[in-house]
Amino acid sequence: MEKLRVLSIFGTRPEAVKMAPLVKTLSASPLVDSLVCITAQHREMLDSVLGIFDITPDYDLDIMTKDQDLAQITTRALNGLMGVIADAKPDLVLVHGDTTTTMAASLAAVYAKLPLGHVEAGLRTHEKFAPFPEEINRRIVGVCADLHFAPTWTARDNLFSENVRGDTIYVTGNTEIDAAASLTRPSYRFKEGILNELDFAGKRIITMTAHRRENHGKPLEDICRAVLRIAQDFEDVHIVYPVHLSPAVQDVAYKILGNHPRVHLTDPVDVGDLQILWQGHILCLLILVGCKRVLRITMYLWWFCEM
């Protein structure tokens, strides 16, 4: 029996985390010839995930450049992926989520007239620029895809509302849960040294991320000032903020939060460290900042600190 040749394409750390369990499963199947292509839209952060999950790409486009913009990412990824697809000759292309790499890979699959599977399909805000550019990316991928792997029933319903055929939609859950389960182990020691010094039993720990493009500038400044006020008002709270490598994020975060002793700014932590920070036995709140309004974030923070 001839194997099904599957080409999985991703380019950022979040994509790699969520695709890793799937890639490992495909690689172990005797029925599948699994190939991996990375665009390296994010270089350093992506490489750390590949190392943790022991994934060696078959193709590495290495497209990342300093101060890259969306048009540059799109054109470099699309041109490179057309060449990869021509060489790999896959039977199916798999992409994840809503990144610019995912959108470019979907177009490349369509141009090559190949079937496309979309992992984490059906997420929608129905607002063109929120999140930006992900909402447009995911809609484009939705039109291109032949197989839609939705993480939730709500995502499935979103696809139904767009007249996607029901027999092409599969509700699978979120593969990040599989990634977290594979990394959890007892007696874990954080690779980021400062995290090992925190008193998780006696203090309240807030773990936050804040890096979305639509929050660059004043929205991110407002978020950081709100977080600073939390640290100033509640002496038993420590805040862990792995700061995205983007200069637009680094400059603001270190300017506003860099001098408070209970706000711990670190480089982006690897997937193992972050997953353990999320575990239920550690009191923490993850703030995924993707909304336009600071009020929502500060409301959740205040609720946490008043507990």
Phi-psi region of 111 (alpha: psi -120 to 50; beta: other; left: phi over 0): alpha
162/153 Cα distance (integer angstroms): 14
pLDDT digits (tens, 9 = 90+) for 65-86: 787 889 999 999 999 999 999 9
Handedness of CA 277, 281, 284, 285 (dihedral sign): positive
pLDDT of residue 247: 86
- Tell me the CATH number at 32: 3.40.50.2000
Number of separate domains in the chain: 2
Average pLDDT of span 50-60: 91
Could you tell me if residue 18 is inside a domain?
yes
**Same structural domain, 265 and 205:** yes
Could you tell me if residue 141 is inside a domain?
yes
Average pLDDT of span 129-138: 92
Positions marked active-site:
98, 120, 134, 211, 213, 244
**Same structural domain, 171 and 213:** no
**Same structural domain, 209 and 163:** no
Average pLDDT of span 232-244: 89
Question: Is this model's pTM higher than 0.75 or not?
Answer: no
pLDDT of residue 184: 67
Could you tell me if residue 188 is inside a domain?
no
Average pLDDT, the chain: 84
300 has pLDDT over 50: no
Domain that holds residue 267: 193-305
Does 294 or 98 have the greater pLDDT score? Answer: 98
**Same structural domain, 227 and 101:** no
pLDDT of residue 195: 80
Does 285 or 77 have the greater pLDDT score? Answer: 77
**Same structural domain, 230 and 208:** yes
User: Please, what is the Cα angle at 171 between 183 and 163, to 5 degrees?
Assistant: 140
pLDDT of residue 198: 79
